[in-house]
Amino acid sequence: MNVTIVDYQSGNISSVINSFTEVAKGKVNLEVTSDIKKINASDKIVLPGQGSFKSCVDSLNNINGLVDTLKEFAITKKKPLLGICVGLQMFADIGYEEAETKGLGWISGKVSKIDNQNGKFKLPHIGWNEIEIQKESKLFKDIKNKSHMYFVHSYEFIPDDKSVISATTDYSSKIVCSIEKENLFGTQFHPEKSDKTGLNIIKNFLDL
């Protein structure tokens, strides 16, 4: 199996590479690239994302043909794709970080700032929080409800169709922290930084 971690020159993806390399050892052929041919030929894609929504979308758009290739992979061919953090957020139609920015529009919804309730909640939401599993998801095989995951973000994905939500976490409100819609998977938390439980989630994705 060939799995590609999309390196689109935005943010720090070393931890994603390290954790996937650890789990993939000897079983999966892992590529880290933005090469469209390689992406086309892969069986699964990981779309990481760090920094702002706008900077990530801009970086994707900067690579000629990348957005179309990803769309063909995920929407037309319906092959498994995992978005992490801003990688998940970009599935939305629109984001409001830095400036109003169009997303990939794969799952309708928006990305807006977490309501900090007048400073009652510190932002970014940094640290370990419990996930509340909302529906059965292939990503959560052998993952207990209320497991701890590592979060770092100030913005949240609000999908229109709530049935795509596979887990939420409690921070000021019930924040969407994981989604599953057919072949599309996304986590707001960082499985690559979430210790053994996180590696387990990565394994579940690679095992799909």
Pairs from 196-199 (Cβ < 8 Å, separation ≥ 24) = 197/143, 197/147, 197/148, 197/149, 198/19, 198/149, 198/150, 199/19, 199/22, 199/23
Q: Is 192 a catalytic residue?
A: yes
Site membership for other proteins, residue 38 (CB under 8 A): no
Site membership for other proteins, residue 65 (CB under 8 A): no
Residue 48 has a CB neighbour count (10 Å cut-off) of 27
CB of 205 to other proteins, least distance (A): 15
Length of the chain, in residues? 208
Site membership for other proteins, residue 195 (CB under 8 A): yes
Site membership for other proteins, residue 187 (CB under 8 A): no
Rounded CA-CA distance 157/82 in Å is 15
Stretch in the footprint of other proteins (CB under 8 A) among 1-9, 66-74, 106-114, 152-160: 152-160
Site membership for other proteins, residue 124 (CB under 8 A): yes
Interface residues with other proteins (CB under 8 A) are 11-12, 14-15, 18-19, 21-22, 50-52, 55, 116, 119, 122-130, 148, 150-154, 170-171, 192-196, 198-199
